[in-house]
Amino acid sequence: MSRLEVLKTYKIYIGGKFPRTESGRFYTPKVGGKSLGNICLSSRKDFKNAVVAARSAFSKWSSATAYNRSQVLYRIAEILEGRKAQFVEELTQQGSSKSQANKEVETSIDRIIYYAGWCDKYTQLFSAVNPVATSHFNFTAPEPTGVVSVFAPEENSLIGLVSTIAPVIASGNTCVVLASEKLPLCAITFAEVINASDVPGGVINILTGKRSELLEHMASHMDVNAFLYTGNDKKEMLSIQELAVENLKRVRLKDFSNVYSLDHETPYYIEDFLEMKTTWHPIEKIGAAGSGY
Amino acid sequence: MAKKTIKINFDTGWDLAPAPESTGHIQLNEQYNLFIGGKWVKPSSGNYFATTNPADETTLAMVAEANNKDVDKAVKAARKAYDTVWSKMSAKERGKYIYRIARLIQEKAREFAVIESLDGGKPIRESRDVDIPLAAAHFFYYAGWADKLEYAFPNRKPQPLGVAGQITPWNFPLLMAAWKIAPALATGNTIVLKPAETTPLTALKLAEAIQEAGLPDGVVNIITGAGETGAAIVNHNDVDKIAFTGSTGVGKIIQNAIAGTHKKATLELGGKAANIIFEDAALDQAVEGIINGIYFNQGHVCCAGSRLFVQESVYNIVLRKLKDRMESLIVGNPLDKNTDIGAINSKEQLQVINKYLKIGEKEGAEMYQSNCSIPKKGYWCKPTLFTNVSQSNRIVQEEIFGPVLAIQTFRTVAEVIEKANNTPFGLSAGVWTDKGSKLFNMTSQLNAGIIWGNTFNKFDPTSPFGGYKESGFGREGGLHGLKPYLKF
Amino acid sequence: MSKTKQKIDLSSFPTVDQVGIGDRIERITKRSIKKETKVQGLKMALNMVDLTTLEGADTDKKVIQLCNKAQHLHDTYPDLPTVAAVCVYPNFVKTAKTNLQGSGINVASVATAFPSGQSSLKIKLLDTKIAVDAGAEEVDMVISRGKFHEGDYNFVYDEIAAIKEACGNSRLKVILETGELGTFDKVRKASDIAIAAGADFIKTSTGKISPAATLPVTLVMLEAIKDYYYKTGIQVGMKPAGGISNSKLALQYLLLVKETLGKDWLTNKWFRFGASSLANDLLMQIVKQDTGIYQSKDYFSKD
Interchain contact A139–B (C-beta under 8 A): no
DSSP-assigned beta bridge partners for residue C206: none
What's the CA gap between B184 and B165, in Å, rounded? 10
Q: What is the DSSP letter of B484?
A: G
Q: Is B109 left (phi over 0), alpha (psi -120 to 50) or beta?
A: alpha
What's the CA gap between C114 and C58, in Å, rounded? 14
Determine the average pLDDT of the residues in B213-223.
Answer: 98
Beta-strand pair B274-277/B428-432: parallel
- Cα-only R_g, chain B: 23
Question: Which residue in C17, C32, C264 is closest to B285 by CB distance?
Answer: C17
What's the CA gap between C85 and C78, in Å, rounded? 20
What's the CA gap between C33 and B247, in Å, rounded? 39
Residue B2 has pLDDT above 80, yes or no: no
DSSP 3-state helix, strand, coil percentages of chain C (rounded to 5)?
50, 10, 40
Question: Which residue in C20, C31, C40 is closest to B338 by CB distance?
Answer: C31
Which residues does A contribute to its contact with C (CB < 8 Å)? 135-136, 282-286, 292-293
Enter the ipTM. 0.96
What is the residue extent of each domain of chain B?
Answer: 31-269+470-487, 274-460
Domain B31-269+470-487 indexed as CATH 3.30.470.10: no
Put simply, the answer to whether B10 touches C262 (Cβ < 8 Å) is yes
What is the residue extent of each domain of chain C?
Answer: 18-299
| Nearest to C200, CA basis, from C269, C129, C153, C136 | C269
- The domain containing residue A45 runs over which residues? 26-279
User: Could you tell me how many CB contacts below 8 A there are between chain B and chain C?
Assistant: 92
Q: DSSP alpha helices (H): ranges in chain C?
A: 18-29, 35-46, 60-71, 93-99, 121-133, 145-150, 153-167, 184-197, 215-232, 247-260, 278-291
pLDDT under 50: residue ranges of chain A: none
Does some domain include residue A8? no
Backbone angles phi, psi at C99, to 5 degrees: -80, -5
Interface of B with A in 70-129 (CB under 8 A): none
Q: B177-189 burial by CB neighbour count: b if 16+ within 10 A, else e?
A: bbbbbbbbbbbbb
What's the CA gap between B160 and B78, in Å, rounded? 13
Question: In chain C, which residues have their Cβ closer than 8 Å to the Cβ of A282?
Answer: 17-20
Residue B1 has pLDDT above 50, yes or no: no
| Nearest to C18, CA basis, from C234, C199, C220, C166 | C220
DSSP-assigned beta bridge partners for residue B275: B308, B430
Between the CA atoms of C131, C135, C139 and C142, what dihedral angle is there, to the nearest 10 degrees?
Answer: -10
- Residue A280's alpha-carbon distances to B204, B310, B465, B482, C301, in angstroms, are 33, 20, 12, 20, 52
Evaluate whether B413 touches B442 at the Cβ level (below 8 Å).
yes
- A217-262 pLDDT tens trace: 999 999 999 999 999 999 999 999 999 999 999 999 999 999 999 9
Question: In chain C, which residues have their Cβ closer than 8 Å to the Cβ of B11?
Answer: 262-263
Which CATH number is A122's domain given? 3.40.605.10
What's the CA gap between B348 and B351, in Å, rounded? 5
What's the CA gap between C264 and C285, in Å, rounded? 25
DSSP-assigned beta bridge partners for residue B310: B277, B409
Beta-strand pair A174-178/A147-151: parallel
Put simply, the answer to whether A286 touches C182 (Cβ < 8 Å) is yes
Interchain contact A3–B (C-beta under 8 A): no
Domain C18-299 indexed as CATH 3.30.70.141: no
Shortest CA gap B453–chain A (Å): 5
Domain B274-460 indexed as CATH 3.40.309.10: yes
| Nearest to B420, CA basis, from B223, B207, B275 | B275
> Which pLDDT belongs to residue C11?
80
Residue of B3, B6, B16 to mutate when probing chain C, most C C-beta within 10 A: B16
Residue C122 has pLDDT above 90, yes or no: yes
Residue C1 has pLDDT above 50, yes or no: no
What's the CA gap between A44 and A166, in Å, rounded? 24
Evaluate whether B443 touches B431 at the Cβ level (below 8 Å).
yes
| Beta strands per DSSP E along A209-289 | 226-230, 250-254, 274-282
Is C7 exposed, middle or buried, given 0-12, 13-18 or 19+ CB atoms closer than 10 A?
A: exposed
| Nearest to B248, CA basis, from A225, A147, A247 | A247
Interchain contact B469–A (C-beta under 8 A): yes
Evaluate whether B469 touches A277 at the Cβ level (below 8 Å).
no
Catalytic residue among B268, B399, B470, B476: B268
Residue B265 has pLDDT above 60, yes or no: yes
Angle at C249 between CA C244 and CA C252, to 5 degrees: 130
What's the CA gap between B379 and B112, in Å, rounded? 22
- C294-299: list long-range contacts, CB under 8 Å, 24+ apart: none
Question: Which residue in C16, C24, C263 is closest to B12 by CB distance?
Answer: C263
Does some domain include residue A7? no
> Which pLDDT belongs to residue A291?
58
Q: What is the DSSP letter of A62?
A: H
Evaluate whether C108 touches C140 at the Cβ level (below 8 Å).
yes
One-letter amino acid at B149 equals L
> Which pLDDT belongs to residue A287?
72
Confidence of residue B394 (pLDDT cuts 50, 70, 90): very high
Evaluate whether B404 touches B365 at the Cβ level (below 8 Å).
no
- Helices and strands counted in chain C (H then E): 11, 8
The CB density around residue B59, as the number of other CB atoms within 10 Å, is 11
Does some domain include residue A128? yes
What's the CA gap between B6 and C234, in Å, rounded? 9
What's the CA gap between B431 and C241, in Å, rounded? 35
Question: What's the mean per-residue pLDDT of chain B?
Answer: 97
What's the CA gap between C136 and C167, in Å, rounded? 9
Does some domain include residue A195? yes
Question: Which residue in C21, C229, C254 is closest to B285 by CB distance?
Answer: C21
Q: Which residue of C has its CA nearest to A134?
A: C19
Shortest CA gap B432–chain A (Å): 10
One-letter amino acid at C140 equals D
Does some domain include residue A75? yes
Between the CA atoms of A255, A256, A261 and A262, what dihedral angle is there, to the nearest 10 degrees?
Answer: 80
Determine the average pLDDT of the residues in B240-246.
Answer: 98
What's the CA gap between A85 and A107, in Å, rounded? 14
- Cα-only R_g, chain C: 18
DSSP 3-state helix, strand, coil percentages of chain A (rounded to 5)?
45, 20, 35
> Which pLDDT belongs to residue A290?
54
Interchain contact B157–A (C-beta under 8 A): no
| Nearest to B357, CA basis, from B325, B402, B320 | B402
DSSP A122-157: HHHHH-EE---SSSEEEEEEEEE--EEEEE--SSSH
- C143-174 pLDDT tens trace: 999 999 999 999 999 999 999 999 999 999 99
